[in-house]
Structure 1
Amino acid sequence: MPHSTPRRPDVRDLELVGGVEKLTVSLHDADAAWRDVFDEHRRRLREALGERAVLIEHIGSTSVPGLAAKPIVDIVVGVADITAEEDYLPALLAAGYVLRAREPGHRLVRTPGRDVHVHVYEADDPAVEAYLLLRDRLRAHADDRALYERTKRDLLEREWDDMNAYADAKTAVIHGILDRARTSRGSEPGEDAP
């Protein structure tokens, strides 16, 4: 699918609704119930958005069997035009999600309990491909899965003032895993990472 032309200019900066939040979660052993949570929210998202959701995929550590994770289920939803918030955001809010962040190319809504994060992108955004590539690589390669889990455990031993800072600290490891995934499938390394 070619990249669509937005109906209007996108936001230019990050807007965190509610401000910076201290990271207070820890890693939990893999839990098969995370798949059930995803299935429940996929149904909820499909009901809310219908065909406006071009894709709905389980991403992040909870989508990888056997991988320890923060008990937050991450979901990526692809839409036709990220700037056309009227096409998806009111429906997501009506379905019980709350807006957490607006940034160029990305919106984040989550459950009030903060245990499910829904990342909205245009369906053909390179970040969507990167999320799925990382997930699939971690599912298929025990060595990268172990490296990623070890990195997360090491990082969570530190105190983080912001969950986003914790996520940024994993970037180098994620880039390495994505580069190996792209090399093994014949793509160029260094494309956008989640």
Structure 2
Amino acid sequence: MPILVELVPHDPSWAQTFSAAEEVLRKALGSCVLAVDHVGSTAVPGIAAKPIIDIDVTLSSLTDVPGASADLIKAGFEPRGNRYDDDVWAFLLRSSVPHLRVYLCPPANRTHERRILFRNYLRQHDEAAAKYSILKRRLADQFPYDGDRYTSEKSQFITDIVSKAQEDTR
């Protein structure tokens, strides 16, 4: 059954939800955690987002993924797989409001690095954040029950912003 692409205005409490989730994740996953990062649109103040807190958990090694996966499943997270063959494994906690989507990442993972570059650029450039929010709303209206298309149609904008962010760090 198709699921509605639901965007809501930014909610300042998302930062607190992330902080509470970070504490739970660090406790559940233990010493293999190098970093826990709030990523995705809920991590950028002022922009519309799906009410799902996206969290990247960087582990000390790729070999930590199976154990960490088992720990997340024990904690009630639903495994969502490694959809893009990028060594990033996704998990969803539906019992949380808003939902939590956790990604287990090995160190120096390219997908994770791109997410951080994108998030930071939008946090530092209000005009780019506003353009992204407008694009997201247009795509949600255009593809209300096609989440894959909604996501794929954002990819060029994201690639352009990541390129700008990489140029800024040089």
TM norm structure 2: 0.89
Q: Which moved more, 1:46-55 or 1:84-93?
A: 84-93
* The 10-residue stretch of structure 1 (132-141 or 105-114) with the greater mean CA deviation from structure 2: 105-114
Aligned to 1:111: 93
The offset of 1:64, in angstroms, is 0.7
- What are the equivalent positions in structure 2 for 1:11-26 lying under 5 Å apart? 22-26=2-6
TM-score w.r.t. the length of structure 1 is 0.79
Q: RMSD of the alignment, in Å? A: 1.7
Identity of aligned residues (%): 29
Q: Is 1:44–1:95's contact at 8 Å kept on the other side of the alignment?
A: no
Q: Which amino acid is 1:40 matched to?
A: A
1:84 Cα deviation from its structure 2 partner: 4.6
1:94 lines up with 2:78 in the alignment: no
Deviations for 1:88-127, whole angstroms, at most 9, x for unmatched residues?
A: 1111111221111224211100102471110111121111
List 4+ stretches of structure 1 deviating above 4 A.
Answer: none
What amino acid sits opposite 1:143 in the alignment? E
User: When the two structures are aligned, how many residues end up with a matched partner?
Assistant: 166
Tell me the amino acid that sits aligned with residue 111 of structure 1. L
Greater per-residue helix proportion:
2
Distance in 1 of aligned mates of 2:2 and 2:104: 23
Q: Deviations over 1:110-151 (max 9, x none)?
A: 102471110111121111111111111000101110111111
Unpaired segments ≥5 residues, structure 2:
none
The one of 111, 133, 141 equivalent to 1:127 is 111
Partner amino acid for 1:55?
Answer: A
Partner residue, 1:150? 134
Alpha-carbon separation, structure 1, partners of 2:37 and 2:65: 20
Secondary structure (helix, strand or coil) at the match of 1:69 reads coil
Measured in 2, the distance between the counterparts of 1:149 and 1:176 equals 15
Q: Whole-Å Cα distance in 2 between the matches of residues 167 and 27 of structure 1?
A: 13
AA aligned opposite 2:94:
P
Matched, 1:60 2:18: no
